[in-house]
């Protein structure tokens, strides 16, 4: 008996990286998986096949999480095809780093829209469904830099701080209706997003981590499983840092 048997999880930006690891973890615990990404290419279709190998229903949907109308449409389609949406993981995210003095308006807008407005779009579209079901778990993917800040990432840090405020507000608004909302704040996780960093930057990060290694997508997925399942039925409005002890 899996921890998520009979549940449907919707995960944004899950064709690869942390989102994919969460999808696989949930599927291994019996959840049906609907995920979105910008394009559903061969890589995303492979993810679907890996998910189906757990004996669950799985489908990838091409949808830009930053677009309000597209989100409404895709959520309606998922509800139609899966019957329910019990778990929502707002995972899609990008970086466009730069110091404040050199940051363009386009860099700011892109990161805030993809990372934060996308979560508003999905929560707005999914909560009517969760309210009718009288239960739901919403997980916003934040970051340690949303808690502590980071030079060169003012746009990204602001978007991730927003994800935390959004989760806490939803937890307060909808807790009485059986809906929980929490945030995960990963530290340095080895994915395509961090592959862009130079070896020096990576080594500097690792020196600050008591566990002396970068995290894996599965390290984050384990916490996402806890927050999605009834194991965390009395946990709401929290931020869980998954960072090897980097920030205490």
Taking the least distance from each CB to ligand NAI, the nearer of 26 and 188 is 188
140 sits near ligand NAI (criterion: CB under 6 A): no
What residues contact residue 201 under an 8 Å CB cut-off, 6+ apart?
none
78, 92, 223, 240: which one contacts ligand NAI (CB under 6 A)?
Answer: 92
The interface region with ligand NAI, picked from 2-10, 79-87, 103-111, 191-199 by CB under 6 A, is 191-199
Q: What angle do CA 210, 193, 27 make, to 5 degrees?
A: 85
114 sits near ligand NAI (criterion: CB under 6 A): yes
Taking the least distance from each CB to ligand NAI, the nearer of 112 and 193 is 193
> End-to-end distance of the chain based on CA atoms, in angstroms?
35
182 sits near ligand NAI (criterion: CB under 6 A): no
60 sits near ligand NAI (criterion: CB under 6 A): no
38 sits near ligand NAI (criterion: CB under 6 A): yes
8, 71, 137, 143: which one contacts ligand NAI (CB under 6 A)?
Answer: 143
CA distances from 61 to 35, 67, 239 (A): 6, 14, 28
Torsion of CA 201, 205, 208, 210, to 10 degrees: -140
What is the β-pairing status of strands 87-90 and 136-141?
Answer: parallel
What is the β-pairing status of strands 32-37 and 58-62?
Answer: parallel
The interface region with ligand NAI, picked from 12-20, 74-82, 147-155, 164-172 by CB under 6 A, is 12-20
Return the number of other C-beta atoms located less than 10 Å from residue 46's C-beta.
14
Minimum gap (Å) between residue 40 Cβ and ligand NAI: 10
Taking the least distance from each CB to ligand NAI, the nearer of 29 and 37 is 37
On whether the CB atoms of residues 153 and 145 are closer than 8 A, the answer is yes
Closest CA to 11 of 46, 49, 51: 51
47 sits near ligand NAI (criterion: CB under 6 A): no
The interface region with ligand NAI, picked from 1-9, 48-56, 59-67, 76-84 by CB under 6 A, is 59-67
What residues contact residue 228 under an 8 Å CB cut-off, 6+ apart?
4, 7, 9, 26, 31, 87, 89, 137, 139
Give me 172's structure tokens.
Answer: 């307060």
234 is catalytic: no
The interface region with ligand NAI, picked from 8-16, 120-128, 173-181, 231-239 by CB under 6 A, is 8-16
2, 16, 48, 147: which one contacts ligand NAI (CB under 6 A)?
Answer: 16
Q: By CB under 6 A, name the binding residues for ligand NAI.
A: 12-13, 15-19, 36-38, 64-66, 91-94, 114, 141, 143, 186, 188-189, 191-194
Residues belonging to the active site: 156
């Amino acid at each position: 008996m899996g921890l998520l048997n009979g549940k449907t999880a919707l995960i944004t930006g899950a064709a690869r990286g942390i989102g994919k690891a969460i999808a696989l973890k949930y599927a291994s615990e019996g959840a049906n998986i609907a995920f979105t990404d910008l394009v559903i290419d061969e890589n995303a279709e492979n993810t679907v096949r890996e998910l189906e190998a757990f004996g669950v229903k799985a489908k990838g949907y091409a949808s830009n999480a930053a677009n309000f109308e597209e989100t409404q449409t895709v959520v309606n389609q998922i509800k139609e095809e899966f019957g329910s949406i019990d778990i929502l993981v707002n995972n899609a995210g990008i970086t466009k780093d730069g110091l404040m003095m050199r940051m363009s308006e386009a860099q700011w807008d892109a990161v805030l829209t993809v990372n934060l407005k996308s979560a508003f779009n999905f929560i707005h579209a999914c909560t009517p469904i969760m309210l009718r079901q009288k239960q739901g778990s919403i997980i916003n993917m934040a970051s340690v830099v949303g808690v502590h800040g980071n030079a060169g990432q003012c746009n990204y840090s602001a978007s991730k701080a927003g994800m935390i405020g959004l989760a806490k507000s939803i937890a307060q608004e909808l807790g009485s209706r059986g809906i929980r909302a929490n945030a995960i704040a990963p530290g340095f996780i080895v994915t395509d997003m961090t592959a862009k960093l130079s070896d020096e930057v990576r080594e500097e990060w690792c020196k600050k981590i008591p566990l002396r290694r970068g995290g894996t997508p599965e390290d984050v997925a384990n916490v996402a499983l806890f927050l999605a399942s009834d194991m965390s039925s009395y946990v709401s409005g929290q931020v869980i840092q998954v960072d090897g002890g980097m920030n205490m």
